[in-house]
Homo-oligomer: A and B are copies of this chain.
Amino acid sequence: MNIILLEQSDFVGDKNEVVLSGRRFMHIKDILKSSVGDTLSIGLLNDRLGEGEVMAMSANDVHLKVDLTEPPPPALSCKLILALPRPIVLKRLLGSITSLGIKEIYLLQTRRVEKSYWQSPVLEKQNIEKALKLGLEQSKDTVLPKIFLKKQFKSFVEDELSDIVQGTQCFFAHPTSREQPQKMQGPVTLAVGPEGGFIDYEIEKLQQYGFSGIHLGQRILKVETAIHVLIGQLRLLI
């Protein structure tokens, strides 16, 4: 937690004052070991960053006077289309993808995605949001990514993909592709398959919508590793 992430519902009375209990309070008390008068890095969800001064602290909560002055860091110019990974992987991945600044994530059914994954509690709205907020707290960002659940590959591609990719360069990661990722200037849409890869039909469909294949060398990587290496290789970080 590199910032304390506030929400509108934390504000009380005076519009510059928040009261925090629970996880954020425990962090301020036990990890940061803050006391009255200390200043903390804070951010307001989908709003600015700034500082919070500890005004009072009880056994259960902390009062902060907040001053929100800075814009959040710029987003990464990258949309991500991701075959729904195993729930335990997804949970970690939502945090790390968020920490990299990706703001638009499509979780997609593909042939080699186990359908049972869609039943996982990780996909419940409040759990997705929890995972995303951990990523924001990590990277000192406030802007919650948008997550879209797409359970039909065909209709997603045929009805929505044109709009999503408009104005972006589109790539899918695939072991048999020849092209190596290059440094990108403009915005990118990246499609990453499941552990077993996209099937030929899916690749043809993606190509039809302007996607080209890139590969990451001869080693087969886990989805988590591959996504991060790929974002590094495209050199999109600011």
Contact = CB atoms under 8 A, between A and B. Distances in A.
Nearest to A137: B220
Contact of A220 (B96, B138, B231, B238): B138
A113 B237 CA distance: 27
Contact of A232 (B220, B222, B233): B233
Contact of A225 (B73, B100, B141, B221): B100
Interface string A198-238: 00000000000000000011111110110011111111011
A101 B219 contact: yes
B221 A100 contact: yes
Interface residues of A, number: 30
A99 B224 CA distance: 12
B232 A228 contact: yes
A171 to B, nearest CB: 13
A219 B73 CA distance: 8
